[in-house]
């Protein structure tokens, strides 16, 4: 048996940085570990809410397809678009199906989980990839977790959790909202 903590290490580190900040009287800021964003305290903008861009999986970093406006939280995005190997027409990404040992077959190109802690968000992005937004949302609710999801699909559709409807703005006309 082997335990690999690589899938949650960035989340754990982000949470520890937040603890350090709070212990040293840093009350507001953004911890950005590349795909892992932890919002601390209130933003100096719009009623203390943070405006966070959601990465367009077809473009380089910094090109967003949407913006989510939320209070203090952790936002973790995992996708098949940054870490992969292409051989001929087949792409092998880094999200491995534990049943086959091969990259997980999915129509999702990127999934974002929004939770109170970054470690939790790391876990829920994986659960969202393997189970889909609807099923992962039900799993979270049944277990008492606060989780919101944003899933981006290969066909340029985007699916979001119900609680994000008033907080989510699609900015790229190439994409359309499913729900």
pLDDT at residue 114 tops 60: yes
Closest C-alpha to 67, from 171, 178, 177: 171
Q: Model confidence at 119, in pLDDT bands (50, 70, 90)?
A: very high
Residue 43: both structure tokens together = 């933003």
Q: Is residue 3 part of a domain?
A: no
pLDDT of residue 82: 64
Q: Is residue 71 part of a domain?
A: yes
Q: Is residue 2 part of a domain?
A: no
pLDDT of residue 9: 87
b/e burial code for range 16-35 (CB count within 10 A of at least 16 → b)? ebbeebeeeeeeeeebeeeb
Model pTM score: 0.87
Q: Please state the domain count of the chain.
A: 1
Average pLDDT rounded to a whole number, residues 113-139: 92
Q: Which domain holds residue 125?
A: 9-177
Q: Model confidence at 105, in pLDDT bands (50, 70, 90)?
A: confident
**Torsion from C-alpha of 118, 21, 68, 50, nearest 10 degrees:** 170
pLDDT of residue 22: 97
Nearest 5°: phi and psi at 5?
A: -95, 5
CA–CA distances in Å: residue 55 to residues 16, 100, 150, 152, 172:
25, 29, 11, 10, 11
Task: Return the higher-pLDDT residue of 77 and 105.
Answer: 77
pLDDT of residue 18: 98
Q: Please give the share of the chain, as a percent, with pLDDT higher than 70.
A: 87
Average pLDDT rounded to a whole number, residues 50-68: 92
Q: Model confidence at 106, in pLDDT bands (50, 70, 90)?
A: confident
- E-assigned strand segments in 26-83: 29-32, 36-40, 50-55, 64-70, 74-79
Q: Is residue 19 part of a domain?
A: yes
Tell me which residue has tokens 């790391």: 122
Q: Is residue 1 part of a domain?
A: no
Closest C-alpha to 75, from 159, 11, 27: 11
pLDDT of residue 13: 95
Q: Model confidence at 78, in pLDDT bands (50, 70, 90)?
A: confident
Q: Is residue 136 part of a domain?
A: yes
pLDDT of residue 1: 45
CA–CA distances in Å: residue 60 to residues 56, 123, 124, 175:
8, 25, 24, 16
Which CATH number does the domain housing residue 24 bear? 3.10.520.10
pLDDT of residue 99: 76
pLDDT of residue 84: 54
CB neighbourhood size of 84 (10 A)? 13
């Amino acid at each position: 048996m082997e335990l690999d903590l690589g899938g949650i290490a960035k989340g754990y580190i982000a949470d520890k940085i937040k603890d350090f900040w709070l212990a040293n009287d840093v009350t507001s800021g953004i911890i950005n570990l590349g795909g892992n964003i932890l919002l601390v305290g209130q933003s100096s903008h719009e009623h203390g809410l943070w405006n966070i861009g959601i990465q367009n999986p077809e473009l380089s970093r910094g090109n967003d397809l949407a913006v989510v406006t939320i209070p203090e939280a952790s936002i973790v995005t995992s996708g098949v678009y940054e870490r992969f190997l292409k051989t001929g027409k087949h792409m092998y990404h880094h999200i491995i199906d534990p049943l086959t040992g091969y990259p997980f077959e999915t129509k999702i190109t990127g999934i974002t989980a929004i939770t109170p802690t970054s470690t939790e968000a790391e876990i829920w992005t994986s659960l969202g990839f393997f189970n889909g937004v609807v099923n992962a949302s039900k799993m979270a609710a049944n277990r008492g977790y606060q989780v919101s999801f944003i899933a981006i699909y290969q066909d340029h559709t985007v699916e979001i959790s119900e609680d994000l409807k008033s907080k989510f703005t699609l900015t790229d006309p190439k994409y359309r909202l499913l729900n």
